Amino acid sequence: MNYSNFTQNANKPFVSITGQDQESISFILSNTDLSVANAIRRAMIAEVTTMAIDLVEFENNTSVLTDEFIAHRLGLIPLFSSDVDTMIPFTSRECSCQQYCPSCSVELHLNVKCDQESRSVTSNDLISVHQQIKPITSESDSGILIAKLVKGQEISLRCIAKKGIAKEHAKWSPCAAVAFEYDPHNRLRHTTYWVEDDVKSEWPVSKNGELEEEPAEDEPFDYLAKPNKFYYNVETTGALKPQEAIIAGLKVLQKKLAFIKKNVEGIAEEVGTGGVEERMF
């Protein structure tokens, strides 16, 4: 295969969507390498920017839960983060402000006093100053439980939500779960099953197996075969729509590559000079 052929064919993977709903999307990526498929998976899990509560200032907490316990729970509440880069241009490290400001953070308030016998404090009680960036809501549930109060107890606090990526803390991950599978019949023998009696009954083939031909009983092992078809199911926390998380993941990869490309410009003359290590000694 010559190089122009490669750029025409191998550089053109196929995508097909196999299912979609509010929280998740299933798709198949084919005609590409495992390394590329894995890069996309890793990027959308760990490097997509979202908003999450990062600082909590307690004014009053007479609940049975400690301040840090509640602060941790608040951090894990997904906030709507579509188009976060246009609304909040900077992370707090990039921002020129002293601590935080409207261009790198969003403020949220929670002021709840229990006057009834008991009540639940949920993400619906969190009031954001921002129009779009606020705790996720859905018709199907009544908010995410933060704490429970009995008569007379009170929680009153102020939160600062910041932009971040899941490499720093998993609360910034837009993905709740990313299912990733290839070679459902284990034709390539990339995995070894622990078996007592019978592989087929003890390790049922996943649904994706229906889309690939079952290997014949006496089929010889093709040691040159490479995975080519990758099955994804991306489920998000609600911070982003599933398709947004995937597109954002790809964008992260492009930005990383473009930044390296920009920096490669200056190193052409370095080659042949021995490199850093040789020059040092």
The contact set with another protein (CB under 8 A) reads 1-3, 6-7, 10-17, 20, 25, 27, 29, 32-33, 35-36, 38-40, 42-43, 46-47, 49, 85, 91, 93-94, 163-169, 243, 246-247, 250-261, 263-264, 267-268, 270-278
CB of 92 to another protein, least distance (A): 10
CA distance 37 to 139: 34
3-state secondary structure of 55: strand
CB of 165 to another protein, least distance (A): 5
Strands 14-20, 50-61: pairing is unpaired
CB of 10 to another protein, least distance (A): 7
Cβ(38)–Cβ(23) below 8 Å: no
Decide whether 5 or 118 has the Cβ nearer to another protein. Answer: 5
Decide whether 185 or 255 has the Cβ nearer to another protein. Answer: 255
Decide whether 88 or 108 has the Cβ nearer to another protein. Answer: 88
CB of 129 to another protein, least distance (A): 23
Residues 6+ apart with CB under 8 A from 279: 273
Decide whether 46 or 143 has the Cβ nearer to another protein. Answer: 46
CB of 38 to another protein, least distance (A): 7
Decide whether 81 or 122 has the Cβ nearer to another protein. Answer: 81
CA distance 201 to 195: 10
Angle at 150 between CA 147 and CA 156, to 5 degrees: 55
Decide whether 201 or 263 has the Cβ nearer to another protein. Answer: 263
Measuring CA to CA, how many Å separate 122 from each of 70, 84, 177?
A: 11, 24, 23
Decide whether 168 or 202 has the Cβ nearer to another protein. Answer: 168
CB of 270 to another protein, least distance (A): 4
User: CA nearest 130: which of 169, 166, 163?
Assistant: 163
Measuring CA to CA, how many Å separate 184 from each of 27, 188, 231?
A: 15, 10, 9
CA 153 to chain centre: 36
CB of 230 to another protein, least distance (A): 11
Decide whether 12 or 200 has the Cβ nearer to another protein. Answer: 12
CB of 227 to another protein, least distance (A): 12
Owner of token pair 């994804």: 232
3-state secondary structure of 45: helix
Owner of token pair 């850093």: 276
The residue type of 35 is: S
